[in-house]
Amino acid sequence: MRTAPKFQPNRRAFPAFPLARCPNMAAVMIVSIGALSVVACGGGKVATPPAALVVALPVHPILASAGDALVRYPVEVAARYSNVMSFRIPGKLIERRVRIGDAVKKGEVVARLDPSDAQKQLASAQAALEAAEHRLVFARQQLDRDSAQAAQNLIAASQLEQTQEAFSAALSGREQAAAQLVVARNNLLYNSLIADHDGVITSESADTGQVVTAGQAVYGLAWSGDTDVTLDAAQSDLERIAIGQAASVVFQALQSRRFEAHVREIAPAADPVSRTYRVKLTLAEPGRLVRLGMTGEATLTPGAPAAGESSGGAQTFTVPATAIFHEGSNPAVWLIAANSTLELRPVTVRSYNDHSTVITSGLRDGDMVVLAGVHAVYSGERVTPVRPLFDDEGDVAGAAGAGDTVVGPLRAGILR
């Protein structure tokens, strides 16, 4: 019986490499064999990774009486009414009588143009009016003579009609010359820039010797009397601002005094650049100490809850801005569940501030919220909460509970 030939490997295709000549390969093979032995002995079980350390603190609702729900904005004192002062006619600016910050009275001349041309135009119009009046006197006399002769049938009716037409033309010419004289006299007056209201000069836009066009700005005038305190509110705070709402204002130059005010006007449309809404406050007693351009801070007292909000059931929470995670366009936060795993909770944000975020729904008192490193974790991950490195980092989220661990420096808010 013939037997099958034994397989003989091709030594050219599979050359032999003695382990003594390749010590690195020998080490790799030994480690691989050891790893396979461990897996075989352990029944295929992989060791569970340790829980990650995350910066987290429990959150607690804030109270409106504590002042956290108050609306605060920087403000500036501005005149309620102001306008740009300009000449009605073109000309060369030869005199400026006021400067920025000067107070002016109604009817006061603040600047003048070269009046030479206007004076000549006025003289020409005056002469034209005198000539028109002479022609009118002659035409009236001629009309009286022809009327008397026509009554005695001494002249033809057509001649009387021509005399009446000449008188009408002379009368119209006189009225036209009188109107031109008024225009010339006004042009001469327009060479002087006169203040229409009492106020303060706030800007200068033309220099002496400059040739200005009609309507070109020369001065800015802020009217005396009523003043406003203006602020630019974010659209997220509009629901907490209403006409007539009480407010208090403190100016940096008058730290010792607090002025009572109320909301007078809210802009119906947002500014096209800043996307904020201009809100104007009226001071109850401004006094002489409040000057235009002063800056300070206004605090608006919260009023009644907006439509759809309850006065007692709704709770408001403040968390650091780094705790917000966006799932698409929807804000959310990472919470540590009872089994020490992470879950993503959608929330409703009322306003975003510089370093904090105000949340109106989605959280409950005592929820453990991850404060930082929200983009380095995932749902279902086992974690261990630790307090921030500095105590003031967790003030906005509430006091840390007993038993929290204080650790050393954290990187990106999470330790692994």
- Top-confidence residue, 15 or 181: 181
Tell me how far apart the alpha carbons of residues 384 and 366 are, in angstroms, rounded to a whole number.
16
What's residue 353's pLDDT? 74
Asked whether the predicted pLDDT for residue 415 surpasses 50, the reply is: no
Tell me how far apart the alpha carbons of residues 262 and 286 are, in angstroms, rounded to a whole number.
12
| 351-375 pLDDT per residue, tens | 777 678 888 888 988 899 999 888 8
Residue type for position 358: V
What's residue 390's pLDDT? 55
- Top-confidence residue, 67 or 163: 163
Asked whether the predicted pLDDT for residue 293 surpasses 80, the reply is: yes
- Region 383-387: mean pLDDT is 87
The rounded percent of the chain whose pLDDT value lies above 70 is 77
CA dihedral 17, 20, 25, 30 (to 10 degrees): 120
- Region 125-144: mean pLDDT is 94
Provide the 10 A C-beta neighbour count for residue 279. Answer: 27
- Region 101-105: mean pLDDT is 93
Q: What is this structure's pTM?
A: 0.53
Tell me how far apart the alpha carbons of residues 58 and 52 are, in angstroms, rounded to a whole number.
18
Tell me how far apart the alpha carbons of residues 286 and 227 are, in angstroms, rounded to a whole number.
8
- Top-confidence residue, 307 or 373: 373
Which structural domains are found in the chain, ordered by start?
A: 54-66+310-415 (2.40.420.20), 71-79+226-300 (2.40.30.170), 87-114+192-222 (2.40.50.100), 116-189 (1.10.287)
Tell me how far apart the alpha carbons of residues 316 and 314 are, in angstroms, rounded to a whole number.
7
What's residue 413's pLDDT? 39
Tell me how far apart the alpha carbons of residues 238 and 249 are, in angstroms, rounded to a whole number.
19
- Region 100-127: mean pLDDT is 94
Tell me how far apart the alpha carbons of residues 127 and 44 are, in angstroms, rounded to a whole number.
119
Tell me how far apart the alpha carbons of residues 298 and 279 are, in angstroms, rounded to a whole number.
11
Tell me how far apart the alpha carbons of residues 300 and 238 are, in angstroms, rounded to a whole number.
12
What's residue 255's pLDDT? 79
What's residue 235's pLDDT? 87
What's residue 374's pLDDT? 87
- Give me the sign of the Cα torsion angle 173, 178, 182, 187: positive
What's residue 328's pLDDT? 83
CA dihedral 163, 167, 173, 177 (to 10 degrees): 140
Question: What are the residues facing 327 on neighbouring strands?
Answer: 330
Tell me how far apart the alpha carbons of residues 407 and 372 are, in angstroms, rounded to a whole number.
15
| 55-66 pLDDT per residue, tens | 898 988 875 444
| Average pLDDT value over all residues in the chain | 80
Residue type for position 32: S
Asked whether the predicted pLDDT for residue 13 surpasses 70, the reply is: no
Tell me how far apart the alpha carbons of residues 83 and 382 are, in angstroms, rounded to a whole number.
65
What's residue 31's pLDDT? 41
CA 125 to chain centre: 54
CA 397 to chain centre: 29
Asked whether the predicted pLDDT for residue 84 surpasses 90, the reply is: yes
Burial readout 57-96 (b: 16 or more C-beta within 10 A, e: otherwise):
bbbbebeeeeeeeebebebebbbeebeebbbebebebeeb
Q: Strand ranges (DSSP E) for 156-312?
A: 192-194, 199-204, 211-212, 217-223, 227-233, 246-251, 254-266, 277-283, 295-300
Cα separation values, 253 from 157, 277, 296, Å: 88, 26, 8
| 182-235 pLDDT per residue, tens | 999 999 999 999 999 999 999 999 999 999 999 999 999 999 888 899 999 998
Asked whether the predicted pLDDT for residue 299 surpasses 70, the reply is: yes
Tokens matching residue 331: 């804000």
What's residue 257's pLDDT? 87
Model confidence at 263, in pLDDT bands (50, 70, 90)? Answer: very high
Tell me how far apart the alpha carbons of residues 359 and 352 are, in angstroms, rounded to a whole number.
9
Asked whether the predicted pLDDT for residue 409 surpasses 90, the reply is: no
| 237-259 pLDDT per residue, tens | 888 899 999 999 999 888 778 89
Asked whether the predicted pLDDT for residue 45 surpasses 60, the reply is: no
| 169-187 pLDDT per residue, tens | 999 999 999 999 999 999 9
Tell me how far apart the alpha carbons of residues 41 and 1 are, in angstroms, rounded to a whole number.
46
